[in-house]
Amino acid sequence: MSTGTALDPRTAPPFPIAAARSLEDSQLRKNVRHATDVIQGKRARVVSEMPDWEALRISGEAIRRHTMKHLDEYLRQFEENCARVGGVVHWARDGAEARALVIRLVEEAVENEGPHNSLREVLKIKSMTTEEIQLNQALEFAGIRPYETDLAELIIQLGHDQPSHIVVPALHKNRQQIRELFRKEMDLPELGESPEELAEAARRFLRTRFLRVPIAISGANFLIAETGGVCIVESEGNGRMCLTLPRTLITLAGIDKVLPRFRDLEVLLQTLPRSATGERMNPYNSMWTGVQRADGPKQFHVVLLDNGRTDVLADIEARQTLHCIRCGACQNVCPVYRETGGHAYGSVYAGPIGAILTPQLQRLQHARSLPYASSLCGACYEVCPVKINIPEVLIHLRNKVVRRDTAGLRVLGNPEALAMKAASTIFRSERRFRAAQRLGRLAQRPLERKDAKGEPWVSSLPGFFGGWTATRDLRAMPKQTFREWWENRSRNNRDAKYSAEAPR
């Protein structure tokens, strides 16, 4: 059950190239627009019911801001309280370390099961963090078969595909495509395409695995420092099955998932479901704390993953990126995401949040084009339940990319960086700026074309600059700038005044 080639920002093409390919897939664009329209409509209805929605957003932002400011303290508190109730906490600096830890814990669990159950299999609850570190591929390489139990993730896994949305990973697939996939992979030639039939087919496929496999791997929506517990929210019940039936539970979570107090859930469990799926509350809200004698797993491990998050935390202007609670609302409203879908971002984190999170996790060594995958319209900020100012962070990251590109000799091999360097030199001097304007008016003359109204336009710029006019209209530079007009006006008025006052 291969999961295919994982999305990897280190090998993904730049966003403009990947987006151009996605734009050619009309069915994908239709599926994405339909799905995001449905989610947005549901979200708008349930949010409008809340007279204190803005107050909840402000409270959510305050909780996350306070947590990030004292993250080290709350992580230590979580570790102490989790250990106190029977859990074991492990720390992973990066994806490689986390993968090795999880594989070792699975192998130890298989060995503890004894000869009566030596299956090298694991159940998985939907987790973007496991996708981030490409855990499924590592498990398979180690001879361990993972079974995704979330319906959308199962579709992705069976189709050797990649997730395209944080909350609805198979959002780019329609019913007909899912039916054909299930017919082939589940050997169900008579399967229909109604949602009920497709859900029943998945349920039957997973039921035997729920009852057979004794090891589960989960992510976490929240880690509660006060109790040492884990909170997982979901809509299908597969998460509840994975939390209660297996004898070993391994939770992999980013260090940013911690919350200080149990009562903080009062705010976030109101805003998360409304923002994510347009529900008033998630059908299943599971909170697991330690090991219980009469119920649930007998071995409980939590792997806390850094993987670049500490570097994000150190950047004061970009730190708010870690406030994200993974609702996906920013994706649903983003005009860029709605046209390209998620795969164009080359990362498990797509859309506006992916455009700021992925480059930072990669320390700007990869995914450098993602901060530009935005029109800066601000719709993402308006819907974010914890008020992350994504456009602000995008501009901050663009600045960092430009500064890196214009440092030293790197500018010579980058036409865009060279142009920005030249613009910076021109804009620092009024004399150079005026000279550039005069030169520009002369240079554009061979390129000018007049429209039906006689207005001059530049239809096509040469060479590297042609990328701009290929998708945008460019009005020709006026014969006179406003500053020149104002100076001439002031001079003419002054001359007229002197002329009127002169003795006759």
CATH of the domain at 261: 3.40.50.10420
Asked whether 501 and 481 are in contact (CB, 8 A), the reply is no
Is 187 a member of any domain?
A: yes
Using DSSP, state whether 478 is helix, strand or coil. coil
Residue 3 CB burial class (10 angstroms; 0-12, 13-18, ≥19): buried
Q: Does residue 27 lie within any of the structural domains?
A: no
Instruction: Please write the tens of the pLDDT for every residue from 15-70.
Output: 999 999 999 999 999 999 999 999 999 999 999 999 999 999 999 999 999 999 99
CA 265 to chain centre: 22
Residue 329's nearest CA partner among 280, 386, 368, 281 is: 386
Tell me, yes or no, whether 425 lies in a domain.
no
Structural domain harbouring 286: 51-307
Last residue of a domain, one of 307, 334, 369: 307
Binning pLDDT at 50, 70 and 90, where does residue 504 land? low
pLDDT, tens digit, 9 for 90 and up, residues 109-162:
999 887 666 679 999 999 999 999 999 999 999 999 999 999 999 999 999 999
Does residue 480 carry a pLDDT above 90? Answer: no
Q: Is residue 194 situated within a structural domain?
A: yes
Q: Which residues pair with 458 in a beta bridge?
A: 448, 474
Per-residue pLDDT, 410: 57
Q: Is 259 left (phi over 0), alpha (psi -120 to 50) or beta?
A: beta
How do residues 411-429 score in pLDDT, each as one tens digit?
556 676 777 778 888 999 9
* pLDDT of 443 strictly over 80: yes
pTM of the full predicted structure? 0.84
pLDDT band for position 503 (50/70/90)? Answer: low
Q: Domain boundary at 307, 329, 351, which?
A: 307
Residue 407 has pLDDT above 70, yes or no: no
Domain boundary among 273, 307, 341: 307
- Distance (Å, rounded) from C-alpha 329 to C-alpha 335? 12
Whether 132 is in a domain gets the answer yes
Instruction: Kindly state whether residue 402 falls inside one of the protein's structural domains.
Output: no
420 found inside a domain: no
The count of structural domains within the chain is 2
Tokens for 62, please give them: 């305050």
Confidence of residue 2 (pLDDT cuts 50, 70, 90): very low
- Which residue do the tokens 């069976």 mark? 158
Domain membership flag for residue 434? no
